[in-house]
Chains A and B, each alone.
Chain A
Amino acid sequence: MERKVVFAKPEALTDAPTHYCPGCTHGVVHRLIAEVIDKLGIREITIGIAPVGCAVLAYNYFNLDVAEAAHGRAPAMATGLKRVQPDKVVFTYQGDGDLAAIGTAEIVHAASRGENITTIFINNAVYGMTGGQMAPTTLPGQVTTSTPFGRDVKIAGYPLRVAELIATTSGAAYVVRRMVTKPATIASAKKAIKLAFQAQRAELGFSLVEILSSCPTNWGLNPREALEWVEENMAAYYPLGDYKVIDEVKSLK
């Protein structure tokens, strides 16, 4: 009997083990992006932009050209990279602090310009790297190291719904929200990532896939509980769905 490999590390990932905590879904999303890049055969023309935050070292994990941006500025940097070499595929990988707080202007305007780039947005409702402070996406009542009594919306305001916000921009071609909690949702997230990259390849405009992710360490939950928390609490505030899919993207399917 012959043995055939049916699942292995994609070529677009390096061999480097990640520094992420056990059960952190950054690793899952990295792999999905790499699988899509392999599938589309675009590894040699793709340039990634790593954010500031836990994924700051993503450049060590993607086996392709990668730049490391200043906090929140990945969409601006991606704009520069893409405008001078429009034949390349450029994507940013950004967390919620990076994209939805300090980088709000950059992401909104990149989307609004219809910048032909792809953003993979990791929403885990917390600042991971700095040790679990409130993020713009922290849920009402959620305890973090900077909302020790729970997020009081009267003081700290309300969580920002990014996919909904970006979907209002005319330049956006494809804006969806997914999660990576079990094999079925992971498969759905991968399809979305693939479509986002395909939209860019077809020069249809800005694409963003928001992915509800877990942060077991800073949430004080084990990895399994953390994924349940994503499904029960995060998906309730941040409904999964397709927020903007222009007709040209639909026909890519």
Chain B
Amino acid sequence: MAKGTILIDEDRCKGCELCTTVCPFGLVHIANHFNAKGYRPSTLVDPEGKCTGCTLCARICPDVAITVYREGV
């Protein structure tokens, strides 16, 4: 399995939660803190490094708040 990770631009995120509905491993959650706009942004919780960089969360994000990385060449 490919190794990946995501970077969520918290200031762009509006906390719509759509990304949390599509992660195959349920790794994207809503954070407890608020961003500058007053939304609770989404956040990656991946202590076991399960993220494969599949990009599904980024593809449903209406705010282009997610950048996806994959490891290895």
A and B directly contacting (CB within 8 A): yes
Contact of B63 among A4, A7, A17, A183 (CB under 8 A): A17
Nearest Cβ on chain A to B13's Cβ, whole angstroms = 9
**Contact stretch, chosen from A23-31, A36-44, A122-130, A170-178:** A23-31
Are B73 and A27 in contact, with the CB atoms below 8 A? no
Are B68 and A2 in contact, with the CB atoms below 8 A? no
Chain A positions within 8 Å of B66 at CB level: 7
Contact of B17 among A8, A25, A28, A224 (CB under 8 A): A224
A7 to B68, CA, bound (A): 5
Q: State whether the Cβ of A227 lies closer than 8 Å to any Cβ in chain B.
A: yes
Residues A23 and B18 in contact in the complex (CB < 8 Å), given A2-B72, A5-B67? yes
Q: State whether the Cβ of A139 lies closer than 8 Å to any Cβ in chain B.
A: no
Nearest Cβ on chain B to A239's Cβ, whole angstroms = 22
The residues in B between 39 and 73 inclusive whose CB is less than 8 angstroms from any CB of A are 39, 53, 55-56, 58-64, 66-73
In the complex, how many residue pairs between chain A and chain B have their CB atoms under 8 Å apart?
A: 84
Residues A223 and B16 in contact in the complex (CB < 8 Å), given A7-B67, A17-B63, A182-B60? yes
A31 to B58, CA, bound (A): 11
Are A24 and B68 in contact, with the CB atoms below 8 A? no
The residues in B between 20 and 51 inclusive whose CB is less than 8 angstroms from any CB of A are 21-22, 39
Residues A23 and B16 in contact in the complex (CB < 8 Å), given A2-B71, A186-B59? yes
Are B69 and A3 in contact, with the CB atoms below 8 A? yes
26 contacting pairs across A/B (C-beta < 8 A)? A3-B5, A3-B69, A4-B70, A5-B67, A5-B69, A6-B53, A6-B69, A7-B53, A7-B55, A7-B58, A7-B68, A17-B11, A18-B62, A21-B14, A22-B62, A23-B16, A27-B61, A27-B64, A28-B60, A28-B62, A183-B56, A186-B60, A224-B17, A224-B18, A224-B21, A227-B18
